[in-house]
Chain A
Amino acid sequence: MSAKTTGHDTPAGDLRLVNLTKRFGIFTAVDDLGLTIPQGSFFALLGASGCGKTTTLRMIAGLEQPTSGQVLLGDRDIARLRPYKRPVNTVFQSYALFPHLNIFDNVAFGLRRRGIRSVDDEVMRMLALVQLDDFGHRRPAQLSGGQQQRVALARALINRPQVLLLDEPLGALDLKLRRQMQIELKRIQTEVGITFVHVTHDQEEAMTMADTVAVMNAGKIEQLGAPADIYEYPATAFVANFLGQSNLLAAEAAGPAGSDVPVTAHGARYSVPAVRARVATGPVYLGVRPEKLHLVDAADRVPAGHQYVTGAVTDASYVGVSTQYLVRTEWGSELSAFAANSGLGGRVPVGASVVAHWDPRHAFLLPRQPGADDSTAGLLDEPVGASS
């Protein structure tokens, strides 16, 4: 089933944000945002709390008035329309189900407000879609969090909006249910073909579900792209450490030489392919993802073509699928390295001297503020995909 457009709209229902700005007093929540969200895509706005992602969503929904800029749906600027006049629906973070109505009436609410009388078939179809067929007569308070979440989804989807906005819809659910709902949401999106704009601070959630992820920071978009592209080749230090973790070594680059960019970091020379360098001169970060960093006991066991630093293991934590090591370098920074517990190779004891090596094709160069030191993950956070 394709997304239904409602007559007067142009067929190309892309959602475009143009120079969108929102200020609260002197605080700029959303700063000159420009974004195109293709029709039918599953788009995630990812960022820490306070980065402006929810404000952006509320401006699309009409619950917040932009200070300046446009919200274009197709060719129509909807930025100044009242929320009830927009072909956009929202799944709220708190679900906001009407406590005085039963599930059936909650789901039927939008249709009835538009004067549609016979809603039974459509409501039952929606309840079936979210697998709540027999719950129509219940009150929201009688449902679990996951069930309420699905009612909120059905209540929004039944209106066949051109864009469905999801404001941290899974935030209140426990881990297992969240995973289940992620898959469920993705399934429903594929089934109905409506544009989903999903706001979340959970990088794993964004990566699991979205076709395109926009990483937001301080009211601006830091990077936009497919989850794998962003993860494998982040654009900024913020993205490198917000989406997963990275070991970022402060380095100096002196311009490209052939297809490589040579850099100097802490007295040693390394190189990175020019196609993986966001900058090629001046202060840079040499970045390597922890799972791309391999540990061996001596420099002569480093594979040909790999580059390395030496250090000592200061911490090892076993998390089932992998073991996460902290390696203190000679200059005192702590790098993290994840080794898959594949049964190949033994575990490295704490205190052992190690050589951490990587394939230069997995490294990347990012811009660095002059004077900024190494930026390494340090604490052992949950890595992407480690627990799934």
Chain B
Amino acid sequence: MTALAHVPTPTGQPAAPPPLPRGGRRRLLPYLLLLPGAAWLLLFFAVPLFQLAAASLYDPSGSLSTGYALTWAFGNYPDALQAYWPQFGRSFLYAGIALVLAVLMGYPLAYAIAQKAGRWKSLLLVCVVAPMFTSFLVRTLAWKTILSDNGWLVGLLRDVHLLGPDGRLLATPVAVVLGLTYNFLPFLVLPLYASLERLDYRLLEAAGDLYASPVQTFRRVTLPLSMPGLIAGTLLFFIPATGDYINAELLGTPNEYMVGNVIDSAFLVRLDYPQGAALSFLLMAAILAVVFVYLRRAGTEEVL
């Protein structure tokens, strides 16, 4: 960096070199700190991933009872995609709509907590995280009650004619999207909050002083400076939401099933391991592709 070129080096000469064995240990220290995590990842991520990759290439005619043979059956992939592309598309569609809803709700929420909540900040943050203290399953079941045909919400919507007399919420795509939005909202709000909390309000004052209206201040200062949090939050929301199968299972019908439901049934009901494994890899690849394109577009100079 040329800006620092004129800065004199902190000390002309480095301090006396430390005794060798100590220096050697010091150089090893980062790797030692890395060791537990790396071993964990190797055992429980890398090894199963390889097994899954192998399973996706097994001979599809095998079964658990007769055993599988690794025949490099690459045909498993197009076959799986052909059979389940609607569920695949639905996963991305539902997760995408839920993401838009979550950003529309989560950004103002995170902004209010970070910049306006004052002494209520901690309490509000706890409120955002509090649902996480109960299990995912229980929360989704609660939504089943809320959206049920004889629940108050459906009753209210029928009364104001937003729903027809036989209209329902449960077992519709709407229910699944609402469930996804609700369940993953904290993953979006927390990183966004962290990034908005660091936002210096004096920069907003400066923008106002320099003729930026509140809308312009948001577009030119607040949004760009909160972009790292928004990117992290949308990824943390979108990735698990795309692979989710609980919401479609509990709040939808087979017509709303997402790719997660298909993988679930392939492994646990139909016991079709090659297909389940192939679908898992396809999902992983698709998410990676989406995230890659997203980061390339969002992570430009324009937004930091």
Contact = CB atoms under 8 A, between A and B. Distances in A.
B244 to A, nearest CB: 34
Contacts of A138: 3
A159 B205 contact: no
B213 A96 contact: no
Contacts of B202: 92, 94, 96
Nearest to A141: B3
A96 to B, nearest CB: 4
A98 B202 CA distance: 10
Interface of B: 1, 3-4, 200, 202-203, 205-213, 216, 220-221, 224-225, 303-304
Interface string A55-81: 000000111000000000000000000
Contacts of A159: 210-211
Given A99-B225, A100-B225, A114 B208 contact: no
B216 A98 contact: no
A155 B3 contact: no
A84 B304 contact: no
B208 A63 contact: yes
Interface bin, chain A: 20 to 34
B203 A98 contact: yes
Interface string A88-117: 111010101111100000000110011000
Interface of A: 61-63, 82-84, 88-90, 92, 94, 96-100, 109-110, 113-114, 138, 142-143, 155-156, 159
Given A98-B221, A100-B224, A113-B216, A92 B206 contact: yes
B200 to A, nearest CB: 7
B60 to A, nearest CB: 52
B200 A82 contact: no
A84 B225 contact: no
A113 B211 contact: yes
Contact of A110 (B211, B225, B304): B211
A83 B200 CA distance: 18
A34 B200 CA distance: 33
Contact of A84 (B3, B203, B213): B213
Query: Interface centre among B203, B208, B212, B224, by most A CB within 10 Å?
Result: B208
A114 B212 CA distance: 8
Residue of A62, A94, A99, A109 with highest tally of chain B CB at under 10 A: A109
A98 B212 contact: no
Given A99-B225, A138-B3, A143-B3, A89 B209 contact: yes
Given A92-B202, A98-B203, A98-B221, A113 B210 contact: yes
A142 B210 contact: no
A322 B194 CA distance: 55
Contacts of A63: 205, 208-209
Contacts of B205: 63, 83, 92, 96
Contacts of A62: 208-209
- In this complex, the member of A61, A82, A110, A138 whose beta carbon has the largest number of chain B beta carbons within 10 angstroms is A110
Given A96-B200, A98-B221, A84 B206 contact: no
Cβ-closest 10 pairs across A and B: A96-B206, A110-B210, A142-B3, A113-B211, A83-B208, A96-B202, A113-B212, A90-B209, A100-B224, A84-B211
A100 to B, nearest CB: 5
B221 A84 contact: no
A383 B208 CA distance: 40
16 contacts: A62-B208, A63-B209, A83-B209, A84-B210, A94-B202, A96-B203, A97-B206, A98-B203, A99-B225, A100-B221, A100-B224, A100-B225, A109-B220, A110-B210, A113-B211, A142-B3
